[in-house]
Every structure is written in structure tokens, then in C-alpha cells.
Amino acid sequence: MREIVLDTETTGISAADGHRIIEIGALELVNHTPTGKKLHLYINPERSIEEGAFAVHGISLEFLADKPVFADIAEQFMQFVGDDRMVIHNASFDIAFINAELARLALPEYPMSRVVDTLAIARKKFPGAQVNLNALCRRFEINNSHRDLHGALVDADLLTEVYIELLGGRQQNLSLDEARTKHHGRQPAIDSLPDQSGFSIQRGAARFSRPHLPTEAESSAHENFLKKIEDPIWKR
């Protein structure tokens, strides 16, 4: 299963008000494991950046002046995402900006059904607690000391670790669950277990139960071996 962990930085907080994307960071996961493939793009927004947004990400218009506009990178972005689902923290924000950019180019927009919102997962898992990215990094003891400002690729990398922890951590396949035990040692073709987002997570097939009782031939050979031992301690 392929997923894309994604984050964006923007010129402001509202896509509906004409604000634009200025940075995209995306990392590829296959079966919840980072593959090392990534996409990192800076984009000329063709408009001003609000002071509040600049204070968050520190990306200036001067830095973006020679960067491509979204129309020039749209195909590259869409090819990287492909037909796979995206993992985003506060997904409605990023998807609104992405879809606004695609709409300007008369390109198909992404439905929310293609997105896993880790903010929604975290709110359900930790009701009443802070669930922003920094808070989740603290909770899961993920080192985010390099995150002095927001950055799309840095945040996507941290979100990858947070997402794995929200799903149960890197040892999630070792947990005992009803879906496995109901097979009573028989090997299913594949497990399909719901994660916190409501999607189905495909697990690897369970192993056959290992036989622990010796065969009749093994028992006989063992008895014959014991007869050769003089005065065994267990018979005293």
C-alpha cells in the first residue's frame, strides 16, 4: 500500500481569499514504511505573503522570485501523488489550497475521501489534549528540535513518524487481535484491519502455528537415547 505524507506552506490562511501555496513537501510510504522517495518544491505565488504567514515559515518573496509558478510544477506534483491516498495533518487546510491551485488550471481536484487526516485521528485518540504537530512529537518522544520554523518537508518528515505512532508504532504487527486469533492457527490470505482513520490497513499474512509436540518417531528416538544414559539424575 502506497501513501504520500504531505505538507504545504502558504501565503496566508485562506485559500478562498486567494492565498497561494509557496512550498510543498511530500514523502512516500509503502506499507507504512518510508521509501526515501520525496518531493520538495518551492513555488512563486504571484502575490504577496502576509506578515503572519511569514512569521510562521520565514519564506520571503525575494527567495521565491526565481521559483516556478504552480502551473509549471502541477504535473510533477500530480505524478508523484499518483492515485494513492495522502496523509495530512489538518487536511482540510492543505487540500483546500491544493484544490484551489488545481481549479485555476482546470485540473481535477482531490476529494477528501483520498486523504487521511492525522489531526482527526489524534483528536479521537487523545480527546481534550493538544494535538498539533509539536505536541504529538512531544507525546511520542520524536525529536523536533530542528523545527524552529515551519517547513513543508521538515513537517512532512515529522508527520511520517507521528502517523506511524498513531497507528500503533513500528511494532504494530506484533499485537494480538481478534482478526488474527479467529483463524486458530490457520493462515489467512491477508489481514485487513481498520485503523483509527476508518481506512483498512493491509497486514502481511499470519504464519502457520508451529507444532510443539514431538512426532512418534522423535519420541521413540528420545526414549532410546535416554536408555543409554547411566544413572540419570532425574531418576534418583
Query: Are 78 and 107 contacting, i.e. CB atoms less than 8 angstroms apart?
Result: yes
Burial of 19 (0-12, 13-18, 19+ CB in 10 A): buried
Q: At what angle do helices 152-166 and 118-125 cross, to 10 degrees?
A: 40
Q: Which of 150, 184, 212, 222 is catalytic?
A: 150
Active site residue 150: yes
b/e map 110-125, b = 16+ CB within 10 Å: beeeebbbbbbbbeee
Instruction: Find, among 75, 21, 15, 76, the residue nearest to 44 by Cα.
Output: 21
Residues labelled catalytic: 150
